[in-house]
Structure 1
Amino acid sequence: MYEERITSIIEDPAQEFDIVVRITREEDIAVARQMAKQLAQEIGFSLADVTRIATAVSELARNIYRYARQGRIMIRKRLEDRDSPGIEVIAADRGPGIPDIELVLTRGYTTWERSLGIGLSGVKRLMDSFAIHSEVGKGTVVITGKRRRTF
Structure 2
Amino acid sequence: MTRVWTVPVHDSTRVRDVRVATEEAGSHARLDAHRTAVAALVATELATNLLKHAGGGTVLINLVDRGVTDARGPAVQLAALDHGPGIPDVAEALRDGHTTSEASLGAGLGTCRRIADVFDLYSTRRGTVAVARVHQSPNPGPRQTHDTCAAGGINIPLARAEHSGDTWSLARSDSRTTLMLADGLGHGARAAHASDAAVEALHDTGHLPPDEILRLMNPALRPTRGAAVAVAQLDTDRGELAFAGVGNIGARLHTDGSWEHLVSHPGIVGAQFPATVPVRRLPWRPGSLLVLHSDGLPSRWVPPEDPGLLGHDPAVVAATVLRDASSAASPVRDDTCVAVLACERPAGRR
Greater strand proportion = 2
Q: Deviations over 1:20-58 (max 9, x none)?
A: 100011000000100110110121101000000011001
Return the TM-score normalized by structure 1. 0.81
1:125 to partner: Cα distance? 1.5
1:17 to partner: Cα distance? 6.5
Selected match of 1:33 from 19, 24, 38: 19
Return the TM-score normalized by structure 2. 0.36
**In structure 2, how many angstroms separate the alpha carbons of the residues matched to 1:116 and 1:89?**
17
- Alpha-carbon distance change, 50 to 65 in structure 1, aligned in 2, over 3 angstroms: same
Partner of 2:43: 57
The answer to whether the aligner puts 1:142 opposite 2:135 as a matched pair is: no
Count matched residues: 134
**In structure 2, how many angstroms separate the alpha carbons of the residues matched to 1:69 and 1:27?**
14
* Paired AA for residue 120 in structure 1: L
Which fold has the larger relative contact order, with Cα–Cα distance below 8 Å and residues 6 or more apart in sequence? 1
Q: Deviations over 1:126-145 (max 9, x none)?
A: 21001100013x11100111
Selected match of 1:128 from 117, 123, 126: 117
Q: Structure 1 stretch 41-50 or stretch 108-117: which is displaced more?
A: 108-117
Partner of 1:118: 107
1:53 aligns to what SS in structure 2? Answer: helix
1:120 to partner: Cα distance? 0.3
User: What is the percent sequence identity of the aligned residues?
Assistant: 27
* Paired AA for residue 50 in structure 2: I
CA contact (8 A) 2:65 2:74 kept: yes
- Alpha-carbon distance change, 116 to 86 in structure 1, aligned in 2, over 3 angstroms: closer
Contiguous gaps of at least 5 residues in structure 2 = 139-350
Partner of 1:47: 33
- Alpha-carbon distance change, 95 to 17 in structure 1, aligned in 2, over 3 angstroms: farther
RMSD of aligned Cα (Å): 2.0
Partner of 1:20: 6
* Paired AA for residue 114 in structure 2: R
**In structure 2, how many angstroms separate the alpha carbons of the residues matched to 1:121 and 1:64?**
15
**In structure 1, how many angstroms separate the alpha carbons of the residues matched to 2:43 and 2:20?**
9
Contiguous gaps of at least 5 residues in structure 1 = 1-15
1:112 to partner: Cα distance? 3.8
1:96 to partner: Cα distance? 1.4
Greater helix proportion = 1
Partner of 2:79: 90
1:97 to partner: Cα distance? 0.5
- Alpha-carbon distance change, 103 to 51 in structure 1, aligned in 2, over 3 angstroms: same
